[in-house]
Amino acid sequence: MKKKQTLANECLTITTADAKCLNGKFFLLVDGGRTLVMSMTESSDVDKGFCAMSTSTGQSGKEDETYELNYHNYLMLDHILSSQVMQSELKDKAVHDEHLFIVTHQAYELWFKQILYEIDSVRNMFMLPVLEETKTLLILNRLSRVALILKLLVDQVDILETMTPLDFLEFRLQLSSASGFQSLQFRLLENKIGVLESSRVKYNQQHYAKVFSKPEQVKMLEDSLEQPSLFQLLEKWLERTPGLAVKSFNFWELYKRSVDRWLQDMLQQSAQNETDESVKQSLIEEYKKQKESFESILDEEKYNAAVARGDRRMSHLAFKGALLISLYHDQPRFNQPSKLLSLLMDIDSLMTKWRYNHVMMVQRMIGSKVGTGGSSGYQYLRSTVSDRYKVFLDLFNMSTYLIPRGYIPPLSRSLKRQLSILIHEYMPRDSDESNEESDGCENETEERLQDLNLNGDTHKAIKFTL
Ligand code: HEM
Using one digit for the tens of pLDDT, what is the confidence trace for 379-401? 999 999 999 999 999 999 999 99
Helix (H) or strand (E) holding 20: strand 19-21
The burial class, CB within 10 Å (0-12 / 13-18 / 19+), for 4 is: exposed
What is the tens place of the pLDDT at every residue in 87-123? 999 998 999 999 999 999 999 999 999 999 999 999 9
Phi, psi at 193, each rounded to 5°: -75, -40
- What pLDDT is stored for residue 129 in this prediction? 85
Q: Residue 326's Cα: distance from chain center in Å?
A: 19
pLDDT of 372 > 70? The answer is yes
How close is the Cα of 147 to the center of ligand 1, in Å?
21
The more confident residue out of 423 and 394 is 394
Q: Cβ(360) to ligand 1 under 6 A?
A: no
Q: Does residue 112 line the site of ligand 1, with CB under 6 A? A: no
Could you give the CA distance from residue 410 to residue 250 in angstroms, rounded to a whole number?
11
Q: In this structure, are residues 88 and 171 in contact, taking their beta carbons and an 8 Å threshold?
A: yes
User: Amino acid identity of 259?
Assistant: V
Nearest ligand 1 atom to alpha carbon 104: 27
Identify the pLDDT of residue 466. Answer: 18
In the chain, the largest separation of any two C-alpha atoms, in whole Å, equals: 96
pLDDT at position 46 is 41
CB of 62 within 6 A of ligand 1: the answer is: no
Task: Report whether residue 351 contacts ligand 1, using a CB cutoff of 6 Å.
Answer: no
Q: Reply yes or no on whether the pLDDT at 304 is more than 90.
A: yes
What's the mean pLDDT in 280-306? Answer: 94
Going by alpha carbons, the residue nearest to atom 23 of ligand 1 is: 362
Q: What is the pLDDT of residue 1?
A: 37
How many percent of the chain have pLDDT more than 90? 67
Nearest CA to ligand 1 atom 38: 181
Q: Can you list the alpha helix ranges (DSSP code H) found in 49-180?
A: 50-57, 71-74, 77-81, 87-91, 96-126, 133-160, 165-172
| Sign of the torsion formed by the C-alpha atoms of 413, 418, 419 and 422 | positive
| pLDDT surpassing 80 at residue 14 | no
Local confidence band at 456 (pLDDT 50, 70, 90 cut-offs): very low
Instruction: Give the Å distance between the CA of 397 and the centre of ligand 1.
Output: 29
Judged on CB neighbours under 10 Å (0-12, 13-18, 19+), 319 is: buried
Q: Which long-range contacts (CB under 8 A, 24 or more apart) does 163-169 make?
A: 163/97, 163/100, 163/101, 163/365, 165/364, 165/365, 165/366, 165/367, 167/95, 167/96, 167/97, 168/97, 168/101, 168/365, 168/366
**Ligand 1 in reach of 363 Cβ (< 6 A):** no
Our answer on whether the CB atom of 384 is closer than 6 Å to any ligand 1 atom is yes
> Of 321, 341, 312, 313, which is closest to residue 238 (Cα–Cα)?
321
Sorted by sequence, the CB contacts under 8 Å of residue 75 that are 6+ apart come out as none
pLDDT > 90? residue 445: no
Q: Is the dihedral of CA 273, 276, 281, 285 positive or negative?
A: negative
Q: Is 179 a pocket residue for ligand 1 (Cβ < 6 Å)?
A: yes
Q: How far is the CA of 355 from the centre of ligand 1 (A)?
A: 9
pLDDT over 70 at 442, yes or no:
no
- Lowest model confidence (mean pLDDT) among 23-32, 106-115, 125-134, 242-251: 23-32
DSSP assignment string, 360-393 = HHHHHHHTTPPPTTSS-THHHHHHHSSGGG-S-H
Give per-residue pLDDT as tens, 178-210: 999 999 999 999 999 999 999 999 877 778 999
pLDDT of 246 > 60? The answer is yes
- The preferred substitution site among 152, 206, 358, 382 for testing ligand 1, maximizing ligand atoms within 8 Å of CB, is 358
The whole-angstrom separation of Cα 451 and Cα 248 is 15
For atom 6 of ligand 1, the residue with the nearest CA is 362
State pTM to two decimals: 0.81
Mean pLDDT, the chain, whole residue set? 83
Q: Dump pLDDT digits (tens) for 32-75.
A: 444 455 555 444 444 333 333 333 333 444 556 788 999 999 99
pLDDT bracket for residue 429 (50, 70, 90): very low
Averaged pLDDT for residues 16-21: 50
* Residue 281: per-residue pLDDT: 86
pLDDT of residue 127: 95
Measure the CA–CA gap between 269 and 280, rounded to whole angstroms: 10
Tell me: pLDDT of 419 over 90.
yes
Q: Among residues 56, 158, 51, which one has the least CA distance to residue 104? A: 158
pLDDT at 131: 86
The finding on whether 372 has its CB within 6 A of some atom of ligand 1 is: yes
Asked whether residue 11 carries a pLDDT value surpassing 60, the answer given is no
The whole-number pLDDT of residue 27 equals 54
